[in-house]
Amino acid sequence: MTVGVLALQGDFREHREMLERMGHTVREIRKPAQLDALDALIIPGGESTTIARLILSNGFQQPLRDFCASGRPVWGTCAGAILLAGQVDNLDRPGIETMNIQVRRNAFGRQVDSFEADLTVEGLSGPPFRAVFIRAPLIERVFPPARAICVLEDGTIVAARQGNLLATSFHPELTGDSRLHELFLTIGAPAVVTP
């Protein structure tokens, strides 16, 4: 597959390296026209306000919304989850706003409050997934057709799915475990290329 990683700001390199180790062709996406040739797209972690500003200033908002509506897999990790959310606290400009989820930014505290946890994620077989949370958001609520696919022991939602859209509060690209990337690439419809 040809997988794009939005490369405006954040940890796009780590996603690219994970996908390349899995054998996929990866494109760092910096212009909206580059979206056309992709089978799937990841919106990485980083600074959500900065990425939202760059999405708007580079003309990405509607092309990203169209990509989400195309049925191809789209995954937002950490800041990417914030940008996919239809409702976000304290984001001073609109994101992509395509998922029926409500997200609270920096819900677990500052950088010093980062942590790791073993998670059971719907759709993943094998041992628990070791997740890395860095200035992570939490998913406060999900509204149909979105649904929670992973929660912490206290019931806090940290991953949700809505059809071809996936949002995670944590950073799977910072581990050596590619299972979540593999799952992501199966959740959408293949691109329809018209001659």
For the chain, state the CA radius of gyration. Answer: 15
Selecting among 14, 68, 173, 181, the annotated active-site residue is 173
Tokens representing residue 117 in the block? 């946890």
Angle at 97 between CA 149 and CA 113, to 5 degrees: 60
Catalytic annotation present for 171:
yes
Catalytic annotation present for 78:
yes
Per the CB < 8 A criterion, the answer to whether 89 and 105 are in contact is yes
The whole-angstrom distance between residue 59's C-alpha and the CA centroid of its chain comes to 19
The whole-angstrom distance between residue 146's C-alpha and the CA centroid of its chain comes to 14
Give the residue carrying structure tokens 């998913």: 139
Selecting among 14, 15, 68, 78, the annotated active-site residue is 78
Catalytic annotation present for 150:
no
Partners of 131 in the β-ladder? 117
Residue 60's Cβ-side half-sphere holds a number of Cα atoms within 13 Å equal to 26
Catalytic machinery residues:
78, 171, 173
